[in-house]
Amino acid sequence: MKAFLKASVLLTIFVVGGTLRAQNSQMVKGADDRFKADILVVVAHPDDEAFFTPYAARAINDMHKRVAVVFSTRGGSGVNRFSRERGPAMANEREIEAREACAKLGIANVWFLDGKDTASQNVLDSLASWGHGANLERLVGLIRLTRPDVIFTHFPGIFIGENHGDHQATGVLVTEAFDLAANPTVFPSQLAGDTQHYELYLSNLQPWQPKKIYFGSDANDGKQFEGSGPTYSVREVSPTQKKPYWRLALEAAMSHRTQSRMSDEQWEEMMSDPKTSWWPEPSTLIFGKSVVDGKATDDVFAHIDEKPDRSFTKETVSCGAHGEEGTGNEKLPRIGLGGVWLFYEEFYPAHGLCQLRVAKMPEIGVKSGATLVVPLAIRHDSSKPLPVNLAVKAPEGWRVTDGAGQYVLPAEESTSVAVHIETPTLSAEELKKAVSQELHISAEAGGKPAGEVRLRVLLKASALPQ
Ligand SMILES: [Zn+2]
């Protein structure tokens, strides 16, 4: 209505001016401001928004920022702790719980990608089960619609902790979308103008470059991320809401009834104690990357109005590989961790995640008694088959069931093999005291050493399958 009035006023002025320009002057509609977000939170499951809700409560209530949330799955594979429904029915319930939790914080713009809740620690499993490409396209479309300055998401990496493949896959999708959304040649149908009155396919969006990404991690050892990004207080009292930010976040989280076996009082008790609360005081947002100036520890919105200094036309930032492996210059043959570890070794430099704090030594937590699978990649001369010997040094009581000994590798640049190790079943008492243990796998080719792989493994009472 307002736009219509404005148009009439313009028209009158031009007619009075006695020109014919009035007929040519049309108001062109801009992007819908109702859907603009300052912060876009992209998380895997309903309830994962809680990684960031104390900050969101502050941003919405006391910084006048707009927050929108995207969930990559509707959470159908977890346990229902509240009622009978499971699987797809529980996913329907969890979608409503998520919308209610967000609404309590003042977040109305909530979307869901099409990922299936995939119970595994393997990021590549999640990406495959979701349909990596289709969901990346959806996410890029939502970034172009919401035009966020800042995105908060899960840490794409492997740590001893919950280490959910869906969390990691969400961090991977966001990192990719961050690098793609400003490129007009990527998913161009999203940018094309409508061609017919009842447009079905073309979105008429515009390219968009978010400025910064921050990560939240579910690693057991949260201390390793101290100093890796800006910190904020979760215990501070909101001047407008007269409650601490952690409490606003908790009140929202209470909507996730299917995920909680505790009473409201038990929640209250747990979260009000800084020692048992989900959110440490202060909390750290782990800096991922930025296309504006400033340091990793700067405030989230520092330099946010600057023009991005990296356009899609520039080559991907290269920041060198993490660790010894993968530089491409070392002597071959060479053994390294394969599978998901190899994926991340290539993913970080490819996406300019140069400052990311990865685990000092590769690590993983598995269920005590489960078979640990260690994927390996051996790079070698591709001109001829290569005889290799693998020696595995496992902790006492662990049993190597497959993968050690002699191999002849085919004539190719990189060959994947895997070592299988049966882990001991520990008692509840032993599990309480369990600390991570180191595993060594060394390779020998033609009587000469060809590198060594080390992996830190924690046996846990429960863990998602590898
Ligand atoms: Zn989750």
pLDDT reading at 323 higher than 50: no
Q: Which of 359, 336, 349, 350 has the alpha carbon at shortest distance from 417? A: 336
pLDDT digits (tens, 9 = 90+) for 431-443: 999 999 999 999 9
User: Which ranges of 106-199 would DSSP assign to H, the alpha helix?
Assistant: 123-130, 132-146, 165-180
Can you give the pLDDT at residue 330? 66
308 — pLDDT class (breaks 50, 70, 90): confident
Task: Give the distance (Å) from ligand 1 centre to CA of residue 6.
Answer: 47
Supply the pLDDT for residue 22.
Answer: 55
Q: Identify whether the C-beta of residue 254 lies closer than 8 Å to the C-beta of residue 267.
A: yes
User: How many A from CA of 45 to the centre of ligand 1?
Assistant: 5
173-215: pLDDT as tens digits: 999 999 999 999 999 999 999 887 888 999 999 999 999 999 9
Q: Does residue 4 surpass a pLDDT of 70?
A: no
Whether 8 shows a pLDDT value over 70: the answer reads no
Instruction: Measure the CA–CA gap between 408 and 395, rounded to whole angstroms.
Output: 27
Strand order in the sheet with 67-73: 110-115, 67-73, 39-43, 150-154, 212-216, 286-290
Q: Dihedral of CA 449/451/456/457: which sign?
A: negative
Whether the predicted pLDDT of 313 surpasses 60: no
Q: Calculate how far, in angstroms, residue 34's C-alpha sits from the geometric centre of ligand 1.
A: 28
Q: Give the distance (Å) from ligand 1 centre to CA of residue 417.
A: 30
Residue predicted with more confidence, 137 or 322: 137
With a cut of 70, say whether residue 38 has pLDDT above it. yes
Give the Å distance between the CA of 47 and the centre of ligand 1: 7
The pLDDT of residue 13 is above 60:
no
| pLDDT(376) > 70 | yes
Query: For 458-463, what is the mean pLDDT?
Result: 96
Mean pLDDT for the stretch of residues 49-68: 98
Cα 164 to ligand 1 centre (Å): 7
> Has residue 343 got a pLDDT over 70?
yes
Which pair of tokens denotes residue 280?
């440490």
CA distances from 295 to 212, 418, 427 (A): 11, 40, 46
Q: Is the pLDDT of residue 326 over 80?
A: no
User: What distance in angstroms lies between residue 78's CA and the mean position of ligand 1's atoms?
Assistant: 9
386 pairs with which residues across the strands?
Answer: 409
pLDDT at 331 over 90: no
Q: What pLDDT shows up at residue 354?
A: 75
At residue 319, does pLDDT exceed 80?
no
DSSP code per residue over 7-68:
HHHHHHHHHHTT-SGGGT--PPP---GGG--SEEEEESSTTGGGGTHHHHHHHHHHS---EE
Q: pTM for the full model?
A: 0.91
Distance CA 452, CA 89 (A): 47
> 286 CA distance to ligand 1 centroid (A)?
18
- Cα 48 to averaged position of ligand 1 atoms, centre (Å): 5
Q: What is the pLDDT of residues 230-242, one digit of tens each?
A: 999 999 999 999 9
pLDDT over 90 (residue 328):
no
Report the range of poorest mean pLDDT among 14-23, 201-210, 283-292, 395-404. 14-23
In angstroms, what is the span from residue 11 Cα to ligand 1's centroid?
54
Q: How many residues does the chain have?
A: 466
Task: Return the pLDDT at 434.
Answer: 94
Which of the pair, 327 or 99, is modelled with greater confidence?
Answer: 99
Quickly state the pLDDT bin for 36 (edges 50, 70, 90).
very high
Report d(CA 208, CA 148) in Å as an integer: 8
Identity of the amino acid at 217:
S
- The answer, yes or no, to whether residue 455 has pLDDT greater than 70, is yes
271 or 339, greater pLDDT: 339
| Separation of CA 302 and ligand 1 centre (Å) | 29
pLDDT at 446: 82
The set of residues, in sequence order, having a beta carbon less than 8 Å from that of 306 and lying 6+ positions away, is 211, 292, 293
In order of 34, 97, 153, 461, the CA distances from 37 in angstroms are 9, 22, 15, 41
pLDDT at 96: 98
Beta-carbon contacts of 319 under 8 Å, excluding residues fewer than 6 positions away, are 348, 349, 352, 353, 354
Residue 43 forms beta bridges with which residues? 71
- Give residues with Cβ within 8 angstroms of 64, minimum separation 6: none
User: Do the Cβ atoms of 262 and 310 come closer than 8 Å?
Assistant: no
**Residue 6's pLDDT is what?**
45
pLDDT in tens, 414-425: 999 999 999 999
Query: How far apart are the CA of 29 and the centre of ligand 1, in A?
Result: 39
* Rounded Cα–Cα distance for residues 155 and 163 (Å): 10
